[in-house]
Amino acid sequence: MKGETAAPTRGGGAGGRSMRLKGLVRKEALQILRDPSSIGIAFVLPLILLLIFGYGVSLDATHVPLAVVVEQPTRQTAAFTAGLAQSEYFDPRGYSDVRAAENALQRGEVDGIVWLRDEFSRKVLAGGAPGIGVFVNGVDANTARIIEGYLQGVWSNWQAAASKGGPYFPVKLEQRVWFNPGLRSRDFLVPGLVAVIMTLIGALLTAMVVAREWERGTMEALLVTPVRVPEILLGKLIPYFLLGMGGLLFSVGMAVWLFAVPLRGSLWVLLAASALFLLTALGMGLLISTVARSQFVAGQVAIVATFLPAFILSGFIFDINSMPAPIQLLTRILPARYYVAILQTVFLAGNIWPVVLLNGLALLAMGAFFLILVRRKTRKRLQ
Amino acid sequence: MWRRIVALTKKELLALLKDKRSRFVVIVPPLVQLLVFSYAATYDLNRVPYAVFNQDQGFASREILARFEGSPIFRLAGALGHEEQIPPLVNGKRVLMVLRLGPHFTRDLLLGRPAPLQLIVDGRNSNTAAVLVGYVRSIVTDFNESWAKAHGSPASLARLDLRAWFNPNLESRWFIVPGIVGLLTLVVTLIVTSLSVAREREAGTFDQLLVTPLRPLEILLGKVLPGFIIGTAEGSFIILMAVAWFHVPLRGSLPALYAGLFLFLLSAIGVGLMISSIAVTQQQGLLGAFLFLVPAIILSGFATPIANMPPLIQHLTLLDPLRYFLLVIRGVFLEGDSIGLLWPQYWPMAAIGLVSLAAAGWLFRHRLY
């Protein structure tokens, strides 16, 4: 209302509104184009992140250096070590005695030791079931567990080959891994990474940009013009929304064409979910900047409240089901959690509607919540 | 000279800590994150929801399923009556795995024929799936051993005696929490330093600083010391929490740990100041910090091992100070490494620190607008 009395000649009708909005969007778009750091966040950051993640991050251990100590070489030990050598998971290195191997483990030259003692073959032939000593470096517990799993595979192959008669495995485990039979960790990390990138574009960029306007006082200047609060907010949202969707298409293109991650669901579902998430992230960014009002604080809060949780609490790398109950509750208020679930499902499993709709609904609710909150907070500051 | 440096340091600390909101963001979030992330970031699986589709009426299937029910790793989410029930449960993420036993499971076992146990795993998170298969396999192996013993079928040829050094129960928290010490120390230091010069440039006070009698070296030291003070304080607190709250064993010596922390802070501050003196605006400073921070975390071996990366990327990690500090802190905490063993990690951090600080000092005066 104030606006109309201040600038009666421009008119307050639909034409004036759309003109004012156009002007704001144009101003914001020019600001984006002229400050290379905004383009940097939207396109260079995804590029670097995807390249580093896609090529660099892998949870699949291969060619693990392994110390092998054979105290008395025989046919039986040769069969076992041949199994290790043939496995692509291991890079076995012979050591003359266990002390030397232990030193190598201590120095970090090998990740594990396989120790066949001198009575090994005698006991095998006598049916005495000798123990094969296995020591792994447990500092990286996850890798240690994976190495143990690989060793069990080698061991059971050796048993099956060495024992001609009778089943030594009463129960035979037949495993079927759905959606990712080769267990390629890249296929699940790259979709999750898209969520991290969208968080950066949405929240960090808007938080910094709007905080800068508050810091310089241009936001107050804008608030006393005939422009209304929703128009100011829309003027900020539209350019960054387009920038974010551009970053998304770019990331998805890289995921599919460069990293050969299968996209089994439809692109439209992916785009719709991403638009919802982007609105939520933009809302969070605007809220942070409105409350913080300085770039330093806004930047810090954006990293702490959006980026790091998206990295650690979203289920992107660490499994949410295994977190303690209070932390699981905490993840429920994170938009990234819902987006990661949709991304991993749409990329690897397809359009599975229960997952997509449930998580999409949660995103919708959170987006509406943040945008309404921003709207209210901004009006308050006017008075 | 020292009085001027102290005055400048005081001014920097005041600029950072006198504002209530900026004091808050430097102190509170790292502590909250330490708690939340240390509990959340784990590769260990707990209470994994699974379903059973058992067509067998015999005792053997009940026996092997009881082993799953008794394990804290698994949580039974339902028994199925039809095969068609499996896909919606797995697709909808209601369960992470399904165990399926055929109608002749017990009979096959008693007749000495291999009895298949089918395991269906949701592979959307491939790491969870791999770990899960490992857990199931070890339960099946145990069952096989005791079945062979009880029913007189031939025993296995040899046993695997698995033992893990330094972390006998393979708790991934012992791996992650020391990593978080490095991660949070890096984030805090970088945020404090990367905006410090850019903020002054934006406000125009940096030019004023340059025309004072202060020499570039003094300005540099005045910007370095606040980062050191804050980084050491937060780093020490997080180390204390790791030991006292999370009970991660600290087996090595404190001097070895603090030598690492000191050199790590030197390199982190150097990189932060270098970014800050290149940046014209705070937004660029923060973006620069990010462009460094994100790859630095990913390539450090914090969450995924460096050994799994392709050779080219492994060479790239050599530029990452966090990589060396993580080796120091995990080495000292879990393996009890001494200062002598850690030289290969100390000197690269010192080199990164000195080079980047020199570059920052040079850029103070030579930055072209």
Band (A11; pLDDT cuts 50, 70, 90): very low
A chain contacts of residue B308, beta-carbon cutoff 8 Å: 58-62
For the ranges A176-190, A296-310, B249-263, the one whose mean pLDDT is highest: B249-263
B chain contacts of residue A88, beta-carbon cutoff 8 Å: none
C-alpha–C-alpha distance, residues A17 and A8, integer Å: 13
B chain contacts of residue A67, beta-carbon cutoff 8 Å: none
Is B126 buried (19+), middle (13-18) or exposed (0-12) by CB count in 10 A?
A: buried
Please say whether the beta carbons of B188 and B150 come within 8 A. Answer: no
Residue B337 has pLDDT above 80, yes or no: yes
C-alpha–C-alpha distance, residues A138 and B163, integer Å: 9
Please say whether the beta carbons of B365 and B206 come within 8 A. Answer: no
Residue A381 has pLDDT above 60, yes or no: no
Q: What is the nearest CA distance from B274 to chain A, expressed in angstroms?
A: 17
Crossing angle of the two packed helices A295-302 and B282-298, in degrees rounded to 10: 20
C-alpha–C-alpha distance, residues A190 and A344, integer Å: 9
- Domains in chain A (CATH in brackets) are 2-6+13-57+184-382 (no CATH), 64-162 (3.40.1710.10)
Q: Which residues of A176-211 are buried (b: 16+ CB within 10 A; e: fewer)?
A: ebbbbeebbbbbbbbbbbbbbbbbbbbbbbbbbbbb
Ramachandran area for residue A183 (φ above 0: left; ψ -120 to 50: alpha; else beta): left
Partner-chain residue, chosen from B64, B126, B162, that has the shortest CB–CB distance to A183:
B126
A43 or B52, greater pLDDT: B52
- Tokens 């040769």 correspond to A78
Query: Measured between alpha carbons, how far apart are the two ends of chain A, in Å?
Result: 14
A chain contacts of residue B117, beta-carbon cutoff 8 Å: 171-174
Q: Which residues of A228-247 are buried (b: 16+ CB within 10 A; e: fewer)?
A: bbebbbbbbbbbbbebbbeb
Which region among A63-67, A92-96, A117-121, A181-185 has the lowest average model confidence (pLDDT)?
A181-185
Q: What is the nearest CA distance from B351 to chain A, expressed in angstroms?
A: 23
Residue B22 sits at the chain A interface (C-beta within 8 Å): yes
CB contact under 8 A, B305 and A37: no
- B113-169 pLDDT, tens digit per residue, is 888 999 999 988 888 888 888 889 889 888 888 888 887 666 677 777 888 888 888
Using CA coordinates, name the residue in chain B closest to A137.
Answer: B165
Residue A132 has pLDDT above 70, yes or no: yes
- Domains in chain B (CATH in brackets) are 2-41+172-366 (no CATH), 48-151 (3.40.1710.10)
Which regions of chain B does DSSP assign to beta strands (E)?
A: 48-54, 74-79, 97-101, 115-122, 159-165
Q: Which of B89, B125, B306 to mutate to test the interface with A (most CBs of A within 10 A)?
A: B125
Residue B164 sits at the chain A interface (C-beta within 8 Å): yes
Is B213 buried (19+), middle (13-18) or exposed (0-12) by CB count in 10 A?
A: exposed
C-alpha–C-alpha distance, residues B275 and B287, integer Å: 9
Instruction: State the pLDDT at residue A168.
Output: 58
For the ranges B86-90, B145-149, B211-215, the one whose mean pLDDT is highest: B86-90
Mean pLDDT of all residues belonging to chain A: 83
Band (A10; pLDDT cuts 50, 70, 90): very low
Mean pLDDT of all residues belonging to chain B: 87
C-alpha–C-alpha distance, residues A265 and B239, integer Å: 45
Residue B51 sits at the chain A interface (C-beta within 8 Å): no
Please say whether the beta carbons of B270 and B355 come within 8 A. Answer: yes
Residue A165 has pLDDT above 60, yes or no: no
User: How many A/B residue pairs have CB atoms within 8 Å?
Assistant: 358
For the ranges A141-145, B18-22, B39-43, B80-84, the one whose mean pLDDT is highest: B80-84
